[in-house]
Structure 1
Amino acid sequence: MNYRTFVASQSILMTASSMVFPFYLLLIRNIGDSYSQFGLAYGLFALTAALTHPIIGRLSDKIGDRSLLLLYTWGMAGVMIIVPLIETISALYILQIIMGILGAVQKTTEKTALARQTAGQHTGQKIGNYHLWTSVWGAVAVMATGYLIDFLTIGSLFYIASFLYMISAVILMRSDYILKDQMKEKPVQP
């Protein structure tokens, strides 16, 4: 996975997550009976992510960033399909735990991948450009969703987000094939 592929994939997944986040919060609040259930649901996400970060960091060193980013993108694609079907608070709690794990995968692996992609070569500039593009796509998603929601159901937004996560995963998957093709064309010289 090269820097451009990484930025493209992350920009698309940032679009997906930014698009649904405001509506996901409404969904969480509407499923529970009280603000304490809302707080517990959100707290489960944050606590699970916190406890999972060190494990994900070690896994990133062992199995690589690309594998973990694929786990995240495919995992979130599946979660987005399930979200509109959630009706009980216990199902929401389970979903929050799953999303906490996946969130830790993304957040930790994003940083490890950035560190590996930029090692010693205009690091600040590359990280700045990375955040520029992921933030721009996130902002565009939030604004566009504000208009789209007038024509679509909230559930359909989650299905669109699932599709965007799938596109992000396919970009990551293709990056391996692209790199293998480049290696065949230009073998490494001793």
Structure 2
Amino acid sequence: MERLWTKKYVMLIVVSFLLFSSFYLLMPTLPIFVMELGGSESQVGLIVGIFTLSAVILRPIIGGLVDKYGRRVFMLSGLVLFAITMYTYDWITSIFGLIIIRIIHGVSWGVATTATSTAVTDVIPESRRGEGMGWYGLAMTLGMAVGPIAGIWLVESLSFHWLFLICTGLVVGALVSGYSIKLPTVKQQSNQSVSFYEKRVLPIALVMFFLSITYGGIMAFLPLFATSIEVNAGVFFLVYAVTLTIIRPLAGRISDKYGQKKIIVPALAIVSIALVVLTITNGLIGFVISAILYGIGFGSAQPALQAATIQLAPPEKRGVANATFFTAFDLGIGLGSILLGFVSQFMGYQVLFFICAVVAGISFVLFMIFVKEILPKVVASK
């Protein structure tokens, strides 16, 4: 069996964990910061959404440049810009200034995450790609589990000044870790033009787009739903994070042994079931069951879909393939949050989560029609 746990792989996981921890420290506290600056609820939505929009616009461009000029320079430059931008939050005194910073911050996020996730695919052995992507995904999972709780505690116990300093320090740590990594060089023809998307992975990106709409609905509206049924939202995210920690490596190993479709097909179905459970729940038990099911479904499907994306793309186009995948992911979260906001306002949270269940069903159908049959052909050719 090829070796997975190399120094390069471990250090890239460290880079991503520190980067995602910084991101999730800020995410739940940003609305509070906006209100302290005198902003409105509509401006909170704008400031949160413009970050994702900036990343979406830039990712396809960065993906092509990462393939042509290498992963390391973009990973390091993205981390530098991310750290500088994070520190600048401490100097912001107006909503307009915050909007400008959020645009730049979104750009740095798109650069750093696209380059880092592509670099990881270069150092994972092909025979253990599913398992490798599963463990790598835990960097985001652990950041999501620790970040929101720690961020809120920092703001309540200390101040935004200390929050921004600690967030900046985490990214500086990621930068130092990334600087120590010597990444492999992907051979590229010097006269090859820069690509902005990889057409071979568009069917997978479409599936991921619809799946991530459900993720956007969970992240944006579950805390409000929890309050309405008098349940602590933190319980859902804690159970979800623990489930992800357990399921990702296991699902990755199964994916490597039996193929991605053996994981993705049941995982997408489980996501729909989880959201149906959330639709009918009115207490803690249903809340926990939904969190477990969603963790199993989304936690299995997302890394398997990314592994399939890399499998379909040639090595010299992994950057743009990753960018295509994550553009769909970000776009689904951004558009889903905005559109589902209108649903929650006029029809309520139960209808919102039922629509999410239907959307997950659409991702299942799209996978069965457009993706399922092309994956065995790629496996057979190896």
Fold conserved between structures, TM > 0.5: yes
Structure 1 residues 38-77: Cα deviation after superposition (integer angstroms, max 9, x where no partner): 3333333232222111111011112222221212221121
Q: Give the Å deviation of 1:147.
A: 3.7
2:125 is the alignment partner of 1:110: no
Aligned length: 178
Partners of 1:158 and 1:35 lie apart in 2 by 22
Partners of 1:135 and 1:175 lie apart in 2 by 23
Report what 2:30 is aligned to: 24
Report what 2:84 is aligned to: 78
Checking the alignment, whether the CA contact within 8 Å between 2:86 and 2:168 is kept in structure 1 is: yes
Q: Which of these residues, 14, 31, 42, is aligned with residue 36 of structure 1?
A: 42
Checking the alignment, whether the CA contact within 8 Å between 1:12 and 1:168 is kept in structure 2 is: yes
Q: Which of these residues, 7, 15, 21, is aligned with residue 15 of structure 1?
A: 21
Partners of 1:40 and 1:133 lie apart in 2 by 27
Select between 110-119 and 90-99 the one with higher mean Cα deviation.
Answer: 110-119
Select between 28-37 and 117-126 the one with higher mean Cα deviation.
Answer: 28-37
SS in 2 for 1:87: coil
Scaled by the length of structure 1, the TM-score of the pair is: 0.82
Partners of 2:40 and 2:149 lie apart in 1 by 29
Q: Which of these residues, 139, 151, 158, is aligned with residue 152 of structure 1?
A: 158
AA paired with 1:11?
F
AA paired with 1:123?
R
Partners of 2:48 and 2:21 lie apart in 1 by 21
Structure 1 residues 111-155: Cα deviation after superposition (integer angstroms, max 9, x where no partner): 322322225130000011111243124312333344444431122
Q: Give the Å deviation of 1:93.
A: 1.6
2:91 is the alignment partner of 1:91: no
Report what 2:141 is aligned to: 135
Residue 167 and residue 111 in structure 1: after superposition, are their counterparts in 2 closer, same or farther (change >3 A)? closer
AA paired with 1:163?
G
Report what 1:101 is aligned to: 107
SS in 2 for 1:122: helix
Partners of 1:40 and 1:18 lie apart in 2 by 18
Checking the alignment, whether the CA contact within 8 Å between 1:11 and 1:138 is kept in structure 2 is: no
Report what 1:187 is aligned to: none
Select between 2-11 and 147-156 the one with higher mean Cα deviation.
Answer: 147-156
Checking the alignment, whether the CA contact within 8 Å between 2:29 and 2:152 is kept in structure 1 is: no
Partners of 2:66 and 2:174 lie apart in 1 by 19
Larger Rg: 2
Residue 147 and residue 23 in structure 1: after superposition, are their counterparts in 2 closer, same or farther (change >3 A)? closer
Percent sequence identity over aligned pairs: 28
Partners of 2:48 and 2:143 lie apart in 1 by 25
Residue 4 and residue 116 in structure 1: after superposition, are their counterparts in 2 closer, same or farther (change >3 A)? same
- Structure 1: segments with no counterpart, 5+ residues: 180-190
Residue 114 and residue 59 in structure 1: after superposition, are their counterparts in 2 closer, same or farther (change >3 A)? same
Partners of 1:90 and 1:125 lie apart in 2 by 44
Say what the alpha-carbon RMSD is for the aligned residues: 2.3
Larger RCO (CA within 8 A; separation ≥ 6) = 1
Report what 1:50 is aligned to: 56
Scaled by the length of structure 2, the TM-score of the pair is: 0.43
Q: Which of these residues, 151, 174, 183, is aligned with residue 180 of structure 2?
A: 174
Select between 47-56 and 24-33 the one with higher mean Cα deviation.
Answer: 24-33
Q: Give the Å deviation of 1:2.
A: 1.7
Residue 126 and residue 12 in structure 1: after superposition, are their counterparts in 2 closer, same or farther (change >3 A)? same
Q: Give the Å deviation of 1:78.
A: 0.9
AA paired with 1:45?
F
AA paired with 2:163?
L
Partners of 1:137 and 1:40 lie apart in 2 by 24
Residue 161 and residue 2 in structure 1: after superposition, are their counterparts in 2 closer, same or farther (change >3 A)? same
Checking the alignment, whether the CA contact within 8 Å between 1:10 and 1:168 is kept in structure 2 is: yes
